């Protein structure tokens, strides 16, 4: 899996997850429990991961939604 977005913003992560789901792109939110363990102070950002085969499609989807600046590796 490839990291698509790294953020502490739950609204952004929820929106990205909805975009990916609507496009049929499998995704996984990593580090959610670690963020809870740190007391939700934002020390550990959560990461949205996608399958490597669909990473380019997911990046294009976020750019089309004007979220390109949020990409971990904008390429």
Tell me the Ramachandran region of residue 24: left when phi exceeds 0, alpha when psi lies from -120 to 50, beta otherwise. Answer: left
Question: pTM for the complete prediction?
Answer: 0.84
Does the pLDDT at position 26 exceed 90?
yes
Per-residue pLDDT tens over the stretch 28-66: 999 876 655 555 566 788 999 999 999 999 999 999 999
User: What three-state secondary structure class fits 11?
Assistant: helix
The total of other beta-carbon atoms located within 10 Å of residue 31's CB is 16
Distances (CA, A) of 57 to 26, 47, 69: 11, 17, 16
2-69 folds as Alpha-Beta Plaits (3.30.70)
């Amino acid at each position: 899996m490839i990291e698509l977005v790294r953020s502490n913003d739950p609204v952004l992560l929820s929106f990205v997850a909805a975009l990916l789901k609507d496009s049929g792109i499998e995704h996984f939110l990593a580090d959610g429990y670690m963020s809870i363990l740190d007391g939700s102070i934002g020390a550990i950002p959560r990461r949205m991961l996608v399958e490597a085969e669909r990473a380019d499609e997911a990046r294009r989807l976020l750019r089309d939604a004007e979220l390109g600046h949020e990409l971990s590796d904008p390429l």
